[in-house]
Structure 1
Amino acid sequence: MPSFDLLPGDPGSPVLLHVPHSARTVPADVRAGIVLDDSALERELDHITDAHTAELAERAAELARVRPWRFVNRLSRLVVDPERFPDEREEMAAVGMGAVYTRTTHRGELRPADTDPEPLLARYFRPYARAMAEAVAGRLAATGRAVIIDVHSYPTEPLPYELHGAGPRPPVCLGTDAFHTPAWLAEAARAAFADTGGTGLDSPFAGTYVPLEFHGADARVAAVMVEIRRDTYMTEPGGAAGPGLDRLAGRLAALADAAAPR
């Protein structure tokens, strides 16, 4: 059974809402390799999960004039993090949070430091990467371009694992890439979220996800990351969503529609 879903949108839409970090599910055999007890694991999931972002993307798709496609991870990022580089390019590996995490958000032990990542990469990371690349290729074939909107959230206060947590933490952080985020897309994102209390660029999180086979190579693939500060829509950490979720879904829908007709 796939650990992710590609949920179809309008055949003519180039937009793909990517939701990589919304789930809390950890399969039992993967759980066996995690050293935390059950209560500590639940606390870690509270901190590391981008709670309710799959629901946010679903509501946005329903509200959009041109329904975007959605690619949703159904497993926790504690299984594998599909957005990390699986090699030495990944800066988060310095704190034990490469594609397969060995440390927690508070820099405690999650897995033994000598854990071999290869079985998890083979079982989960690479199939996910292939499927996401195929989803992007599908939008390129259908429309001549693809726009990835990477849907995330982040805590109001920095967590110890953050490498760049000292900078601004606006209500909405927009992560950009010099190659894949054209000026029109950055401006559309700023405009869409202008009434949410403020947007910022690349702080506390920078960059955006593009499948490796297109990364830095195919300018037809545009991308922007939307990082929503959690106090704007939920009770932290790991609590229920509030009324802010619907308002933000409307803003995400507006961004999807701004990206669709170009």
Structure 2
Amino acid sequence: MSFFELLPGDPASPVLLHVPHSARTIPEDVRRGIVLDDAALERELDHITDAHTAELAERAAHLAAVTPWRFVNRLSRLVVDPERFPDEREEMTAVGMGAVYTRTTHRAELRPADTDPEPLLERYFRPYARAMTEAVADRLAATGRAVVIDVHSYPAEPLPYELHGTGPRPPVCLGTDSFHTPPELTEAARKAFADCGGTGLDSPFAGTYVPLKFYGADGRVSALMVEIRRDTYMAEPSGAAGPGFGLLAAALAALVDAV
């Protein structure tokens, strides 16, 4: 099986639910480049993985009146993080968490600082980026527009790696982009998640994911990041999904249908 998966939706749907950080799988040859022992790696995966978000997107897709498309990463973000810029534009490089992480959520060593990222970028990052670009282009060709909704989660308490962890941590954080997030998309998300404890904008995480081919260049591609605080739907850091899961899935489905 490929390390990412495009799950078809309704041919008439412009919506692409993107789930980049839900998996824990690390290929063995990649594991050999990580300096953590097995127990420490499992703890890091507990903190860094957006647990249950693939299942959340799946449930929402089944609940939506018009089934959205889904693009799901099947490997851990500790292999590569497909949402980072692969160059000097990426601010998370300052804490060793660019496209290829060298530091953990607690700023401990994950890989040697002099690790050459190129083999991982070539094997994993670029094929993923090409496939996402093609998925968005396909929605544009089919419907004349594309709506990328990123499905993420984040911990109730800030972790040391967070560059903007001192701000509000609402139950649902909506990450926006000045070019790709029109006001009506933000408002639709506010309404959809109104019964989920409240929403906030761009804190503690801001921005959206748009493939670089379209980023800042094609207004037909709109995007929103949905960051769900983990204590609203699961036992942190890596427990089972709880009662809030169903409510959030229904809200995500309502957002899909609204856009």
> So what's the TM-score if we normalise by structure 2?
1.00
Displacement, 1:239? 1.1
SS at match of 1:140: helix
SS of the equivalent of 1:150 reads strand
Query: Does the residue aligned with 2:127 lie in a helix, a strand or coil?
Result: helix
TM-fit CA distance, 1:80: 0.1
Secondary structure of 1:247's match? helix
Q: What does residue 35 of structure 2 align with?
A: 35
* TM superposition shift of 1:20: 0.1
1:194 is paired with a residue whose SS is coil
Deviation at residue 252 of structure 1 after TM alignment: 0.2
CA distance in 2 between partners of 1:238 and 1:46 (Å): 5
Q: What residue in structure 1 maps to residue 132 of structure 2?
A: 132
Query: Residue in 1 aligned with 2:117?
Result: 117
Instruction: Return the offset for 1:251.
Output: 0.2
The amino acid of 1:185's aligned partner reads L
Q: Following the alignment from structure 1 to structure 2, what is the Cα–Cα distance between the partners of residues 84 and 257?
A: 28
Q: What residue in structure 2 maps to residue 182 of structure 1?
A: 182
Q: How does 1:135-214 map to 2 (within 5 A)?
A: 135-214=135-214
Q: Per-residue deviation at 1:243?
A: 1.6
Per-residue CA deviation, residues 60-94 of structure 1 (Å, 9 max, x unaligned), is 00000000000000000000000000000000000
Q: Which residue of 1 aligns with 2:10?
A: 10
2:24 & 2:153 partners in 1: Cα distance?
Answer: 14
Letter in 2 for 1:69: W
What is the Cα deviation at residue 167 of structure 1?
A: 0.0
Counterpart-to-counterpart distance in 1, 2:25 and 2:238: 14
SS at match of 1:30: helix
Match of 1:102, SS state, is coil
Greater shift, 197-206 or 235-244, is seen at 235-244
> 1:26 aligns to what?
26
Deviation at residue 238 of structure 1 after TM alignment: 1.1
One-letter amino acid of the structure 2 residue matched with residue 157 of structure 1: E
Percent of pairs with identical residues: 85
1:113 counterpart letter in structure 2: A
Aligned equivalents of 2:197, 2:247: Cα separation in 1? 12
Counterpart in the other structure of 1:69: 69
Q: Which amino acid aligns with 1:198?
A: G
Q: Which residue in the other structure is 1:245 paired with?
A: 245
Distance 1:238 1:101 in 2: 21
Question: What is the deviation of 1:161?
Answer: 0.0
SS at match of 2:18: strand
Unaligned runs of 5+ in 2: none
Q: Please give the alpha-carbon distance, in whole angstroms, between the structure 2 residues aligned to 1:46 and 1:66.
A: 33
Number of equivalences: 259
* Cα deviation, residue 246, structure 1: 1.0
Distance 1:216 1:227 in 2: 22
Provide the residue aligned with 2:230 in structure 1: 230
Q: 2:234 corresponds to which letter in structure 1?
A: M
Report the counterpart of residue 97 of structure 1 in structure 2. 97
Q: Distance in 2 between the 1:3 and 1:216 partners?
A: 28
Of stretches 238-247 and 216-225 in structure 1, the one that deviates more from structure 2 is 238-247
Query: 1-side partners of 2:134 and 2:40: how far apart?
Result: 37
SS of the equivalent of 1:131 reads helix
Compare 243-252 and 75-84 and name the one that shifted more: 243-252
Q: Distance in 2 between matches of 1:243 and 1:131?
A: 34
* 1:219 paired residue number: 219
- Which amino acid in 2 is paired with 1:83? E
Distance in structure 1 (CA, Å) of the matches to 2:44 and 2:242: 22
Shift in Å, 1:4: 0.2
Q: Deviation per CA, 1:209-258, whole angstroms, max 9, x where unpaired?
A: 00000000000000000000000000000111112111100000000000
Give the TM-score, by structure 1 length.
0.98
Matched residue type, 1:190: R
- Structure 1 gaps of 5+ residues are none
Q: In structure 2, what is the equivalent of residue 46 of structure 1?
A: 46
Runs of 4+ in structure 1 off by over 4 angstroms are none
Alpha-carbon distance in 2 for matches of 1:98, 1:36: 18
Give, in whole Å, the separation in 1 of the partners of 2:210 and 2:52: 22
Distance in 1 of aligned mates of 2:84 and 2:190: 25
Cα RMSD for the two superposed structures:
0.4
